[in-house]
A = this chain, B = another copy of it.
Amino acid sequence: MDMKPGFETRVIESGQTIYFAGAPGNAWLLVGGSVRLDRCDMDGEMVGEMEGESAFAGLAIKGDVLGAETLLFGRYTFTATALTSCALVPWPGGQQAPEAASLLKVLADAERRGADAIALRYGEAAMRVRKLIQIIAASHPGQTLSRLMLPALNDMADITALTIGTVSRTLSLMQADGSLSSQERRRGRPKACK
């Protein structure tokens, strides 16, 4: 988020919810950062995967459009949460309705992103985590991402269909062999964003 936020830009800290499934709202263009989408029922409770756990349903990174379905239904289908710090602007920008070509691009991006998310759940733990970090890195161009900027272990575990413990162990190994900068590490309750 090196850009100067316009008056309409919405900045979200890592871990914060951007919108809830079922809530009314508009679509957004993600101009920086990365977002997870979750399938939820009307009450905001997570649904699916295992009973009571979160149901990871998709990924969005810099350049993707979030919540385009609101143009059709008026409400969000998924719950969106910031994996890393994000910047959003309303979409479409000026005009009321997007052009067909824009929608086709959004669709093509969505399908590619879906394929990425599917690929993140295949192979051994080390490879999955590496792939995820690579994708996250693409949404923060120019920044070398330290351990601090990565999503929470909980998020990485949901996305890769691994457990928190396995992701933690994998990152420890990566830090040991130098494939991940082992600067600081985050712990404890995330910083509250008043």
Give chain A's interface residues, CB within 8 Å of chain B.
Answer: 37, 39, 48-50, 55-58, 68-69, 71-73, 77-78, 97-101, 103-108, 110-115, 117-119, 121-123, 161
Contacts and interface: CB of A to CB of B under 8 A. Distances in A.
Contacts of A98: 100
B161 A111 contact: no
A50 B119 CA distance: 10
A57 B72 CA distance: 26
A50 to B, nearest CB: 7
A161 B69 CA distance: 29
Contacts of A111: 37, 57-58, 69, 77-78, 110, 114
Contacts of A122: 49-50, 56, 121, 161
A128 to B, nearest CB: 10
14 contacts: A49-B119, A50-B123, A55-B119, A56-B122, A57-B111, A57-B114, A69-B107, A77-B111, A110-B114, A113-B114, A114-B118, A118-B121, A121-B161, A122-B161
A56 B106 CA distance: 21
Given A71-B104, A72-B108, 7 more contacts: A48-B119, A49-B119, A69-B108, A71-B100, A106-B107, A107-B110, A121-B161
Contact of A56 (B39, B112, B118): B118
A38 to B, nearest CB: 9
A110 to B, nearest CB: 6
